[in-house]
Amino acid sequence: MDNRRIYDIPKQEKFEIYILIKNVQVLKDRNDREYMAFTFQDKSGTIVGMYWSALPEEVKKFTSGTIVRLRGMRDIYNGQPQVKIVQMRVAEEEGLSPNDFIIEGPISKEEMQKEIADTIKEIVHPKIRAIVQTIMSQYRESFYSYPAAKSHHHAFIGGLGFHTLSMLRLAKAIANQYPVIDKSLLYGGVILHDAAKVIEFKDPLSGEYSLEGNLIGHISLMGQKISLVAKQLGYQQKDEAVVLLKHMILAHHGEYEYGSPVRPQLLEAEVLHRIDDLDAKLNMIENHLKEVEPGHFSSKIVGLESRTFYKPGDEYLQDK
């Protein structure tokens, strides 16, 4: 039996492995024939593959969250890793679980929970601390299970918690460098900025959006949540602390075209936007460079204007 993970397999090599269908789209070609666009996943990463001329019964059985026995070949198309699918079958009798294929973050759930909980205690503004504590107590379990994004960055189980913690560490370093920054606003904004991803996604595994995720989105969902919790705590909607915290969330994508209904107009909101963007982009680059040998360029990174990134070669590394 081939027990390798997908990225353990050299390019152009044939394989037969167990792998998880993370998500799948059923599409039609120019001749109106159905085909399936898969994203497969194991603990080494995700990879795409096309299944041409899919039969109706195959469309029904090859669904998101299904473990399959996949026979194919590692390949590259337009600079992106993919698999050429030769044959697939549903793995029903092997006793495998989707958990066997889930990408895990570098920090444990318990460590993330403790560090974020300790940071909430550092929020000195009582109203902001109360709102953040209330929301995080409601989202406690799901927050540390969901990904931070569908595909571009921190797209793994627990990615939401890891992205948030990474941003908090950046926020603390910046706040210590610039004493003018209000730590309560910045830390509260960082912790809540993506927390509504637990509503935006259907579940932690598939990466598919829920109805609320498609029609409302995590930014507006968290704005609504802050208003609701503030009311439950007896705060007025026009209370300045409530308005400022909502602005932190609504402005964190920075620009209208990226989904924010307002641009940052608080110093802390600008910092939140910048560290969110920085942490996401660094994670994208890091993930792409993992598959690159020294002295070579990565595949194109869609979230970074389709740029490629170079991994320093052996000559440079030997001189260090």
CA dist 172 and 164 (Å) reads 12
Decide if 172 is inside a domain. yes
Decide if 300 is inside a domain. no
CA dist 20 and 85 (Å) reads 14
Decide if 319 is inside a domain. no
**The model's pTM:** 0.79
> Structure tokens of 5?
């993970």
Decide if 22 is inside a domain. yes
Decide if 313 is inside a domain. no
Domain of 84 in residue numbering reads as 13-101
Same domain, 94 and 127: no
CA dist 314 and 295 (Å) reads 7
Decide if 309 is inside a domain. no
Same domain, 148 and 96: no
Decide if 297 is inside a domain. no
Same domain, 207 and 142: yes
Each residue's pLDDT tens digit in the chain (320 positions)? 578 899 889 889 999 999 999 889 999 988 888 999 999 989 888 899 999 988 899 999 999 889 999 999 999 876 678 999 999 999 987 788 887 888 777 888 899 999 999 999 999 999 999 999 999 999 988 898 887 766 666 677 788 999 999 999 999 999 999 999 999 999 999 999 999 999 998 887 767 889 999 999 999 999 999 999 999 999 999 999 999 999 999 999 999 988 899 999 999 999 999 999 999 999 989 988 877 778 888 888 888 999 999 999 888 888 76
Decide if 273 is inside a domain. yes
Same domain, 137 and 202: yes
Which CATH number is 69's domain given?
A: 2.40.50.140
> Backbone phi, then psi, for 141, in 5-degree steps?
-75, -50
